[in-house]
C-alpha cells in the first residue's frame, strides 16, 4: 500500500536495478466476470467510481487500521488523474478493491485490499491481475509497489505474480514506523504475449 502520498513513479526506487523478474504475468487470468456462486461469491470486477468511496473507506479501516487512508484521500484517489481503481462486487456488495497509478514508463500499485470475510478466495489475485492488465494495456514497462514488512499475505500474493524485492524504505509506514519492501515486476515488451484481457 502506498503511504498516503502521490507517487513519483519516474524518480522512484526502480532505477539501477539489474535484469527484471521476467514476463508472462498473465497466465490463467480468467474472464474477470464471475458467474455462479463460487468461493468468491460469483464476484464481478468493475471499475470503481466516486460513489464507492464510503464502502472503500470502510474496507480501508478493516484492512489497514491506524494506517488506513482517510475517506477524503480515498475520494481523491478515486477521482484523481492517472489512476485506475477496480472493485470486486458480489451480490451488490463491494468485497475488495485495488488501485493503480499510471506514470510515464511505470505503473504503481497504490493499494489492494479484500474484505476480511472474503479473503483466501482468489479475489486479491483477480484484482491484482486487473491492475497488471491495465498497466500492460497502457504500455507501461514495469509495475512497482510498496508493501509493509510482515504483510505476509500481500507479499505472498505479489511474489506469486512475479514481483521481486528491489529495495526497502525504512520507517515508511506511519504511525507504526514499519519498513516498506519495494517490489518490482517487469512487463512483457509491447507485442509480446503477456497479460490476457480481463474485462
Ligand X SMILES: CC(C)(COP(=O)(O)OP(=O)(O)OC[C@H]1O[C@@H](n2cnc3c(N)ncnc32)[C@H](O)[C@@H]1OP(=O)(O)O)[C@@H](O)C(=O)NCCC(=O)NCCS
| Options 153, 168, 189, 197; binder of ligand X; rule CB under 6 A | 153
16 versus 65: smaller Cβ distance to ligand X: 65
Q: Compare residues 121 and 184 and give the one whose CB is closer to ligand X.
A: 121
Q: Is 106 helix (H, G, I), strand (E, B) or coil?
A: strand
Q: Is 178 helix (H, G, I), strand (E, B) or coil?
A: coil
β partners of residue 88:
45, 96
For ligand X, the binding residues in 58-87 under the rule CB under 6 A are 63
Out of 71, 83, 119, 141, name the contact with ligand X by CB under 6 A: 119
The 3-state secondary structure of 14-34 reads: CCCCCCCCCCCCCCCCCCCEC
Q: Is residue 104 classed as helix, strand or coil in its secondary structure?
A: coil
Among positions 34-63, residues that touch ligand X (CB under 6 A) are: 63
Q: Does 1 bind ligand X (CB under 6 A)?
A: yes
**Binder among 94, 147, 182, 183 for ligand X (CB under 6 A):** 147
Spatial separation of the C-alpha atoms in residues 38 and 165, rounded to whole Å:
33
150 binds ligand X (CB under 6 A): no
Contacts of 191 (CB under 8 A, 6+ apart): none
DSSP state of 187: P
CB of 105 to ligand X, least distance (A): 21
Alpha-carbon torsion, ordered 103, 115, 49, 41, to 10 deg: 110
Q: How far is the CB of 190 from ligand X (least distance, A)?
A: 27
Contact between 162 and ligand X (CB under 6 A)? no
**Least separation in angstroms between CB 189 and ligand X:** 26
Q: Using CB under 6 A as the criterion, which residues of the chain lie in contact with ligand X when the complex forms?
A: 1, 63, 111-114, 119-125, 147, 151-154, 156-157, 160
Amino acid at each position: 500500500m502506498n503511504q498516503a502520498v502521490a507517487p513519483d513513479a519516474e524518480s522512484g526506487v526502480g532505477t539501477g536495478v539489474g535484469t527484471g523478474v521476467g514476463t508472462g504475468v498473465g497466465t490463467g487470468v480468467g474472464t474477470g466476470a464471475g458467474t455462479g456462486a463460487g468461493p468468491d461469491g460469483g464476484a464481478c470486477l468493475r471499475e470503481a467510481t466516486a460513489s464507492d468511496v464510503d464502502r472503500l473507506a470502510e474496507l480501508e479501516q478493516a484492512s489497514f487500521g491506524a494506517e488506513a487512508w482517510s475517506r477524503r484521500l480515498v475520494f481523491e484517489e478515486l477521482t484523481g488523474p492517472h489512476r485506475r481503481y477496480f472493485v470486486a462486487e458480489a451480490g451488490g456488495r463491494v468485497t475488495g478493491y485495488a488501485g493503480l497509478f499510471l506514470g510515464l514508463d511505470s505503473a504503481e500499485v497504490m493499494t489492494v485490499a479484500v474484505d476480511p470475510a472474503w479473503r483466501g478466495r482468489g479475489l486479491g489475485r483477480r484484482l491484482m491481475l486487473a491492475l497488471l492488465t491495465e498497466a500492460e494495456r497502457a504500455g507501461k514497462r514495469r509495475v512497482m509497489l510498496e508493501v509493509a514488512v510482515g504483510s505476509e499475505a500481500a507479499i505472498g500474493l505479489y511474489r506469486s505474480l512475479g514481483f521481486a524485492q528491489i529495495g526497502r524504505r525504512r520507517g515508511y509506514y506511519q504511525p507504526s514506523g514499519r519498513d516498506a519492501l519495494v517490489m518490482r515486476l517487469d512487463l512483457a515488451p509491447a507485442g509480446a504475449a503477456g497479460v490476457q484481457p480481463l474485462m
